[in-house]
Structure 1
Amino acid sequence: MKKKSYDKEFKRQVVQMIQEEGKAVPQVAKELGLHDNTVYRWVTEFKQDGTQAFPGSGQLKPDDKALRDLQKRIRELEEENDILKKAMHYFAKDRR
């Protein structure tokens, strides 16, 4: 069974119906043929992340992307540091 996916604009419109028009989540969900929990999750995501909510499939929020990039850089620097330590020990043995 294929999972339905909804684009960012659709999700924002659903949240807007709830927040600006004051409609109840179950009512909106029923009108659109969605599960209540799905709509509640969209509302929660929008409240937490505002305009950065719903980044899209395979995409990260800017903060999450920055964190992932920093973690990658740390791993690279740690690997370089390990290589330099090994080289230092290797050359220190040669001098003895």
Structure 2
Amino acid sequence: MPKKTYTDEFKTDAVNYYYDSGLSINTTAKKLGVSISALRKWIKLSKKDGSVITRGSGNYSSDKDKEIVRLKRQLRDAEGAIEVLKKAISILG
């Protein structure tokens, strides 16, 4: 079976999705349709070269603000996953 190749943009998007989603590597890899070892390798490389910037937890003035941020993050994650899958389909299709 031929080895799948992914663009650098796809790899960066996948690593960003992993960090932003808060999901495990296994779950993220499964959702994106990539191998766990490939995702681990991309994460390791991104840490080395500093290409991915992670966000820290913010300070929120109220529970309402915290919930709004959580929902926005959830929406962004869903939209990001859709974009990554669209790119994967265009690469494989």
Question: TM-score by structure 2 length?
Answer: 0.50
Following the alignment from structure 1 to structure 2, what is the Cα–Cα distance between the partners of residues 48 and 10?
18
SS at match of 1:6: coil
Which residue number in structure 1 is paired with residue 9 of structure 2? 9
Answering whether residue 48 of structure 2 is matched by residue 48 of structure 1, we say: yes
Q: Deviations over 1:16-35 (max 9, x none)?
A: 01112222111111112211
> How far apart, in 2, do the equivalents of 1:26 and 1:20 lie?
15
Aligned position for 2:55: none
Give the total of aligned pairs. 52
Structure 2 gaps of 5+ residues are 52-93
Q: Report the counterpart of residue 25 of structure 2 in structure 1.
A: 25
1:11 alignment partner AA: K
Q: CA RMSD in A?
A: 1.7
- Residue of structure 1 in register with 2:39 after alignment: 39
CA distance in 2, matches of 1:25, 1:32: 10
Instruction: Give, in whole Å, the separation in 2 of the partners of 1:17 and 1:23.
Output: 9
Give the gaps of 5 or more residues in structure 1: 52-96
CA distance in 1, matches of 2:34, 2:17: 14
Structure exhibiting the larger radius of gyration computed from Cα positions: 1
SS at match of 1:20: helix
CA distances 1:9-58 after superposition (whole Å, capped 9, x unpaired): 1101110011122221111111122111110110000000123xxxxxxx
Q: How many Å separate the matches in 2 of 1:43 and 1:5?
A: 16
Identity of aligned residues (%): 33
Task: Return the letter of the residue paired with 2:47.
Answer: K
